[in-house]
Chain A
Amino acid sequence: MSVGSRTQKNRLSGGQIDRDTALTFTFDGKRYCGHGGDTLASALLANGVRLMGRSFKYHRPRGPLSAGSEEPNALVQLRSGARQEPNTRATTAELFDGLQARSQNRLGSLSCDLLAVNDRLSTFLTAGFYYKTFMWPKAFWERVYEPVIRRAAGLGSLSLSEDPDVYDKGFLHCDLLVIGAGPAGLMAALTAARSGANVILADEDFRMGGRLNAETLTIDDSPGADWAAATVAELAAMPNVRLMPRTTVIGAFDHGIYGAVERVSDHLTVPHPDKPRQILWRIYTQRTVLAAGAIERPIAFPNNDRPGIMTASALRTYANRYGVAVDRRAVVFTNNDDGHRTATDLHAKGITVTVVDVRPETPRALDYEVLAGAQVTDTMGRLGLTFAKLRLADGSDRIIECGALGVSGGWNPNLHLTCHHRGRPQWNARLAAFVPDIRPDSRPDSRPGGLPEGMFVAGAANGDFSTAAALEGGARAAWAALDLGGARPEIPQAEDRPVNLLPFWHVKGPGRAWLDQQNDVTVKDVTLSHQEGFTSVEHLKRYTTLGMATDQGKTANLGGLAIMAELAGKSIPEVGTTMFRPPYTPVAIGALGGRHRGQQFHPKRLTPSHAWAEEQGAVFVEVGNWLRAQWFPRVGETTWRDSVDREVLATRGSVGVCDVTTLGKVDVQGADAAEFLNRIYCNGFAKLPVGRTRYGLMLREDGIALDDGTAARLAEDHFVVTTTTANALPVYRHMEFVRQCLLPDMDVQLISTTEAWAQFAVAGPKARRVLEKIVDQDISNAAFPFMACANVTVCGGLRARLFRISFSGELAYEIAVPTAYGDALIRRIMEAGAEFAITPYGTEALGVMRIEKGHAAGNELNGTTTALTLGMERMVSTKKDSIGAVLSRREGLNDPDGLRQVGIRPLDPSAHLPAGAHLMARTGPVDAAHDQGYVTSACYSPTLGHHIALAFLKNGTNRLGETLRLVSPLTGVDLAVEVCSPHFVDPEGDRLRA
Chain B
Amino acid sequence: MRYSGFRVLKEALTGHKGWRPAWRDAAPRPAYDIVIIGGGGHGLATAHYLAREFGQSRIAVLEKGWIGGGNVGRNTTIIRSNYLLDGNEPFYEFSLKLWEGLEQVLNYNAMVSQRGILNLIHSDGQRDAFTRRGNAMILNGADADMLSLAEIKKRYPFLNTADARFPIKGGLAQHRGGTVRHDAVAWGYARSADSRGVDIIQNCKVTGFRIENGVCKGVETTRGYIAATKVGCAVAGHSSRLMSLANMRLPIESHVLQAFVSEGLKPVLPGVITFGAGHFYCSQSDKGGLVFGGDIDGYNSYAQRGNLPVVEDVCEGAMAIFPMLGRARLLRMWGGIMDMSMDGSPIIDRTHIDGLYFNGGWCYGGFKATPASGFAFAHLLATDSPHPTASAYRFDRFRKGRMIDEKGMGNQPNLH
**Which A residues are within 8 Å of any B CB, using their own CB?**
56, 83-87, 123-124, 126, 129-136, 138, 141-142, 146, 149-151, 153-163, 165, 167, 169, 251, 253-254, 257, 259, 280, 282, 420-422, 448, 524, 528, 531-534, 536, 538-539, 542-543, 545, 549-550, 552, 579, 581-583, 586-590, 592-594, 596-602, 604, 621-623, 700-704, 858-859, 862-864, 887, 890-894, 914-918, 926-928, 931, 934-937, 967-971
Rounded to whole angstroms, the CA-CA distance of A126 and B188 in the bound complex is: 18
Question: Of the candidates A593, A622, A891, A968, which one forms a contact with B122 in the assembled complex, judged by CB atoms under 8 Å apart?
Answer: A622
Residue in A87, A543, A604 whose Cβ sees the most chain B Cβ within 10 Å: A87
The answer to whether B111 touches A916, judged by C-beta atoms less than 8 angstroms apart, is no
21 intermolecular pairs with C-beta atoms under 8 Å apart: A86-B266, A86-B327, A131-B108, A131-B187, A146-B113, A153-B288, A165-B326, A532-B20, A552-B331, A583-B333, A586-B262, A588-B327, A589-B326, A589-B328, A601-B278, A602-B165, A604-B165, A700-B411, A916-B130, A969-B139, A970-B131
Produce 1/0 per residue, B53-95, CB < 8 A to A.
Answer: 0000000000001101100010000000000001001100000
Q: Report the stretch among B4-12, B219-227, B351-359, B373-381 that lies at the interface.
A: B4-12
B252 to chain A, nearest CB (A): 16
B305 — which chain A residues lie within 8 A by C-beta?
A: 420-422, 581
| Closest B residue, CB atoms, query A915 | B128
Cβ distance A277 to chain B, nearest Cβ, rounded Å:
8
- Find chain A residues with CB under 8 A from B12 CB: 123-124, 126
A135, A141, A524 interface centre (most CB from chain B within 10 Å): A135
B139 to chain A, nearest CB (A): 4
Contact at A155–B263, with CB atoms within 8 Å? Answer: yes
Q: Quick one: closest A residue to B182, CB to CB?
A: A542
Point out the residue from B262, B303, B399 that lies within 8 Å of A589, measured CB to CB.
B262
At the interface, yes or no: B34 with Cβ under 8 Å from chain A? no
Among B131, B316, B333, B334, contact of A971 (Cβ-Cβ < 8 Å): B131
B330 touches A160 (CB 8 A): no
* Set A135, A158, A892: member contacting B4, Cβ < 8 A: A135
Give the Cβ gap from A266 to chain B, nearest Cβ, in Å. 11
Residues of A within 8 A of B134 (CB): 916, 970
Chain B residues near A701 (CB-CB < 8 A): 410-411
The answer to whether the Cβ of B402 comes within 8 Å of any Cβ in the partner chain is: yes
The 9 closest A-B pairs by CB, nearest first: A863-B408, A916-B131, A163-B326, A890-B401, A154-B288, A590-B326, A533-B21, A892-B401, A593-B319
B69 and chain A: residue at smallest CB distance: A538
Q: Are A594 and B316 interface neighbours, CB within 8 A?
A: yes
| Given A138-B104, A422-B305, A970-B144, also A863-B407 (CB < 8 A) | yes
Q: Flag if B132 contacts A589 (CB, 8 Å).
A: no
Q: Is the CB of B288 within 8 A of A914?
A: no
Chain B residue with Cβ nearest A86:
B265
* A448 adjacent to B327 (CB under 8 Å): no
**Given A154-B288, A532-B21, do A864 and B308 touch, yes or no (CB 8 Å)?**
no
Say whether B312 contacts A863, CB under 8 Å: no
* Closest B residue by C-beta to A925: B139
Tell me which of B122, B140, B141, B410 has the highest count of chain A C-beta atoms within 10 A of its own C-beta: B410
Cβ contact within 8 Å between A601 and B333? no
B385, CB-defined interface residue at 8 Å = no
Q: Which B residues touch A971, using CB under 8 A?
A: 131, 146
Q: Which residues in A have their C-beta under 8 angstroms from that of B267?
A: 150-151, 153-154
Check B287 against A154 for contact (C-beta < 8 Å): yes
Q: Is there an interface contact between B287 and A153, defined as CB atoms closer than 8 Å?
A: yes
State how many angstroms separate the Cβ of A154 from the closest Cβ of chain B. 3
Within 8 A of A (CB), among B24-77: 24-25, 65-66, 68-69, 73
Contact of B184 among A131, A169, A528, A918 (CB under 8 A): A131
B4 and A917: CB pair below 8 A? Answer: no
Tell me if B273 is interfacial: C-beta within 8 Å of chain A. no
Q: Which of B156-164, B229-237, B361-369 contacts A (4 or more CB under 8 A)?
A: B156-164
Docked pose: A940 CA to B187 CA in angstroms? 56
Kindly state whether residue B214 has any CB partner on chain A within 8 Å.
Answer: no
- Residues in B whose Cβ lies below 8 Å from that of A132: 3-4, 7-8, 108-109
Task: Say whether B129 faces chain A, with CB atoms less than 8 Å apart.
Answer: yes
* Cα A855 to Cα B7 with chains together (Å): 68
Nearest-neighbour CB distance to chain B for A703, whole angstroms, equals 7
Verify if B384 is at the interface (C-beta below 8 Å from A).
no
Whether the Cβ atoms of A154 and B139 lie closer than 8 Å is no
Partner of B329, one of A536, A587, A702: A587
Given contacts A132-B4, A257-B308, contact A916 B129 (CB under 8 A): yes
Q: List A contacts of B158 (CB < 8 A).
A: 160-161
Contact of A892 among B114, B145, B307, B402 (CB under 8 A): B402
Q: How far is the CA of A133 from the CA of B103 in the complex (A)?
A: 10
In the complex, what distance in Å separates the CA atom of A937 from the CA atom of B132? 11
A934: chain B residues at CB < 8 Å are 132, 135
- Complex CA–CA separation, A9 to B4 (angstroms): 53
In the assembly, what is the distance between CA of A163 and CA of B69, in Å?
A: 37
B272 at the interface (CB under 8 A from A): no
Is B401 within 8 A of A893, CB to CB? yes
| Contact A928–B325 (Cβ < 8 Å) | no
Contact check, A915 vs B131: say whether CB atoms are below 8 A apart.
yes
Per the bound structure, the CA–CA distance linking A516 and B87 in Å amounts to: 47
Q: Answer whether residue B298 sits at the interface, using C-beta atoms and an 8 A cutoff.
A: no
